[in-house]
Amino acid sequence: MSNITVCARFRPLSSRERRDYGDSICIQRIDDETFSLKDEKEGDFKFTFDRVFYETSEQVDVYTFLARPIVRDAMKGINGTIITYGQTGAGKTYSMEGVNILDCDEQKKGLLSRVIDGFFEDISSSGESIKYTIKLSMVEIYMGKVRYNQQNPPSKILRGLYFLLQGSGFENPSKDLFDLSKDNIQIKESKSEGILLYGVTKIPLLDPAEALQKLSHGLDNRAVGETQMNMGSSRSHSLYIFTIQQEMNKDIRGKYGKLILVDLAGSEKLEKTGAEGRAFEEAKTINKSLSALGNVVCALTCGPTGRGNHIPYRDSKLTRILQDALGGNSRTALLCCCSPSPSNAAETLSTLRFGARAKHIKASPNIESNEDKHAKVLIAPSPTEDDSRDRTL
Ligand code: ADP
Ligand code: MG
């Protein structure tokens, strides 16, 4: 059993924060793991995490500490998950994507491009004896009520489906970013294969440069998806799912690993959004899957509750997909992204409390289960896909 790695990252003050509040910040560094936070209303708090990245930390520091060991393990067939959490504007996407996935200087490259580099570094150092196939899927899960683009509304059937889904709070609309026609990715669970994203597109990655092109294509589609649904990225979760198939040789069955990177929707509370009436109702739904995530973390860390040992993974699509990452067969890291400004201290406190709680989750990554054809698999072969190797994963 190993704990989830939990880190906090403080971005530099934004120009707006500087303009309104000067240079003051609400946190004080104690060391690389510990800092204190001052909130005007709630008082002083001390937090200790596995590592704290302060505003002068570089992207490479975050990658090296938090992601590199998980990439290495994924290559060995151990599942991994890396999650960015925090209020809108706190640095989740900056940490994940950098500034621009294709045109980013070395220093600003985010986790995604560094993870891809890590895969190919490991492939080139592994020699000829092991053959790897790396594939990428990109899925966006949209929160809350969907407002249709009036110029280009979806079909009546789809609108009916969304209507039903919105009420249940369980099935948030989700898009396959490599095939926008797949806009309600189904999640299935099987005893032998674990959680499956059924029929999602898997793009093979051949080298780092080409991989970034593919990633960039998916990110462009995300913008299209958001416009279709009238949603901004702060109201959706982005999931980047890498699968790593390892074939040793004809006699030895290779291992299979998956690495999921998750850029979560903004975790801000309702009061802050100033939403009223219909917008307020919508904001409540937006937070549903994040509160489902909070409930799962709570159930995993608070021990038996009134509902026995029940962990409410099924309460949202996000928590179902992350079932393995949270308390299952995965090495998991959580990056709590925060603003250092006193004006955001309450949200920062809430983000850090989430991280502190997640720290107590026990996960149990298991290489054995990824060694044979009954390995846990995240992505099911598409029914139309004609790739015999995938079918045996
Ligand atoms: P989020 O995805 O959490 O909503 P973003 O990652 O988009 O937030 O960050 C908001 C803004 O802050 C962006 O302009 C981003 O470039 C900037 N930013 C975030 N983190 C950092 C950082 N560590 N260093 C420099 N700029 C950052
Ligand atoms: Mg973002």
- Residue 2 in this model has a pLDDT that exceeds 80: no
- Residue 381 in this model has a pLDDT that exceeds 70: no
Q: What does the block give as tokens for 309?
A: 């040992």
Q: Please tell me the predicted confidence (pLDDT) of residue 390.
A: 33
Q: Which residues contact 332 (CB under 8 A, 6 or more apart)?
A: 4, 5, 80, 81, 82, 83, 325, 326, 361, 363
Q: Is 5 annotated to bind ligand?
A: no
Cβ 234 under 6 angstroms from ligand 1: yes
Mean pLDDT of 69-95: 93
Q: Which amino acid is at 56?
A: T
247: CA distance to ligand 2 center in Å? Answer: 36
- Tally of CB atoms within 10 A around 73: 18
185-194: pLDDT as tens digits: 888 776 655 6
Q: Whose CA is nearest to atom 16 of ligand 1?
A: 94
312: CA distance to ligand 2 center in Å? Answer: 26
Q: Does ipTM come in above 0.90?
A: yes
Q: Please tell me the predicted confidence (pLDDT) of residue 163.
A: 54
221-263: pLDDT as tens digits: 887 766 666 666 677 889 999 999 888 666 566 778 889 999 9
Pairing, β 131-142 against β 203-205: antiparallel
- Ligand 1 nearest-atom number relative to CA 97: 6
Cβ 93 under 6 angstroms from ligand 1: yes
Q: Which ligand is nearest the CA of 61, by number?
A: 1
Q: Closest Cα partner for 166 from 277, 51, 282? A: 282
Task: Tell how far CA 21 is from the center of its chain.
Answer: 31
Buried/exposed code over 258-297 (b: 16+ C-beta within 10 A; e: otherwise): bbbbbbbbbbbeeeebeeeeeeeebbebbbbbbebbbbbb
124: CA distance to ligand 1 center in Å? Answer: 33
Q: What does the block give as tokens for 165?
A: 């889904």
Q: Is 274 annotated to bind ligand?
A: no
Q: Whose CA is nearest to atom 9 of ligand 1?
A: 91
84: CA distance to ligand 2 center in Å? Answer: 9
219-232: pLDDT as tens digits: 988 877 666 666 66
* Domains of the chain as residue ranges with CATH: 2-146+165-363 (3.40.850.10)
- Residue 277 in this model has a pLDDT that exceeds 70: no
- Residue 356 in this model has a pLDDT that exceeds 80: yes
Q: How far apart are CA 244 and CA 372, in angstroms?
A: 14
Which range, of 115-129, 296-310, 331-345, 371-385, averages the lowest pLDDT?
371-385
DSSP state of 155: P
41-51: pLDDT as tens digits: 999 999 999 99
